[in-house]
Amino acid sequence: MIDVLHVISGLGTGGAETMLVRLAAMLRARGLTQHVIGLGSQDALAADLRATGVGLTVLGARSAASVAGAARLWRMVNDLRPRVLQGWMYHGNLAASLSHNTCPGRRDRKLFWNLRASNMDAQRYGRIVRLSALLSPQADLVIANSEAGLTFHHDRGFRPKRSAMIANGIDTEKFRPDAQACNEVRAELGIAGDAVVALHVARVDAMKDHAGFLAAMAAAPSVLGVMVGDGTRELAVPPNVRALGLRRDTSRLYAAADVVASTSAFGEGFSNVIAEGMSAGLVPVATDVGDARAIVGATGWVVAPRDPAAFGAAINEAAMLPAAERQRRGLAARERIVANFTLDRAADAFARLYAGG
């Protein structure tokens, strides 16, 4: 028997996947035995998870509806006999529910769901949101990473037995101001020491609104935009934007920037990127999606989504601050993350819920 069995679609470089890897390591250190099941293929973060000592099984299912994948998951649940079966995101939640409902030992096992999104686009995600709402009363507990996410899903008919909000946790030792890394990265990328750099970290996806960021940067020609994320190198960018593609050294890249930018158009619950950048001492500029306002507070700018003019104006305001004031704001942003959104704080909250079953 193990304490927690996590079920997730895969272990790509998204925010939920990153959070699971970090959380699993800390829960293991707290004495909670656990295992992670990835429904899909061997993804980028699989090696990172294995390095923590947490068990990982990759089912290799071609889709969340795979009969073979469901059968293998059922066998894993039956063999490992978890006290808590924890789904992650819609597909992981539904897969966990199917196994929980059909596998022996249901009375000795709790079903938890994990919601990582807020106002999901109805055209793209309406069907799975409706199905999840229909099945949500089966969940003993739904954990969301944002108040906006809890509200959105409640308004869409989610009715679990209990719900809780645990904000994402940031590794504030990994993401911190680092003058040496700043100098090294700027030298590597050929960025002048006095340039004002706005960093945008996101895979290319409609949710992240890269077009909005590019339009905003075109309206802020004195600022250098740096885009990081899968698919960004294929985008057509204005002269003041660099597109680096997928990188695994984001902590170094944050250290070399002045502003962290998030242009999410919808769906974001708790933005890891905004919080990581703030932890690294950057001034945040974000769209008002999910819990962005609760993360940013008074340390930066929060503007309406899908408004490149407003976003560009905010970037320009941040760039026009005297360097000393920008640094002061960045340090205040870091202090806000250290006080409210550490990885230890999140792991403690999850551990309490798992211990209670």
Same fold for the domain at 4-169+342-356 and the one at 179-340? Answer: yes
Q: Does residue 149 register a pLDDT over 70?
A: yes
Read off the tokens for 182.
């700043």
The pair of three-digit structure tokens given for residue 161, joined into one six-digit string: 């037995």
Can you name the CATH fold of 179-340?
A: Rossmann fold (3.40.50)
The lowest-confidence range among 31-45, 186-200, 241-255 is 31-45
Q: What integer pLDDT is reported at residue 47 of this predicted model?
A: 87
Regarding predicted confidence, which is higher, 287 or 355?
Answer: 287
Which listed CATH number (3.90.25.10, 3.20.20.70, 3.40.50.2000, 2.160.20.60) goes with 4-169+342-356?
3.40.50.2000
Question: Would you say residue 187 has pLDDT above 70?
Answer: yes
Neighbours of 31 (CB within 10 A): 9
Domain boundaries, the chain: 4-169+342-356, 179-340
User: CB 24: neighbour CB atoms within 10 A?
Assistant: 25
**Where residue 63 falls among pLDDT bands split at 50, 70, 90?**
low
Handedness of CA 130, 134, 138, 142 (dihedral sign): positive
Tens of pLDDT along 259-286? 999 999 999 999 999 999 999 999 999 9
> Where do the H-state alpha helices sit in the chain?
15-29, 46-51, 67-80, 89-102, 122-135, 147-155, 179-189, 210-218, 250-255, 272-279, 292-296, 308-320, 323-340, 343-356
Summarize pLDDT for 293-330 with one digit per residue, the tens.
Answer: 999 999 999 999 999 999 999 999 999 999 999 999 99
Q: What is the pLDDT of residue 352?
A: 96
In this structure, what is the dihedral angle of CA atoms 151, 156, 162, 168, given to the nearest 10 degrees?
-50
What does the mean pLDDT of the chain come to? 95
User: In which element (H, E) is residue 227 found?
Assistant: strand 224-228
* Cα–Cα distance for residue pair 7/206, rounded to 1 Å: 25
Handedness of CA 342, 146, 315, 181 (dihedral sign): positive
pLDDT at 357: 64
- Residue 288 DSSP code: S
Supply the Cα-derived Rg of the chain in whole angstroms: 20
- Whether residue 150 contacts residue 166, with contact meaning beta carbons closer than 8 Å, is answered with no
Closest CA to 174 of 285, 254, 245, 271: 254
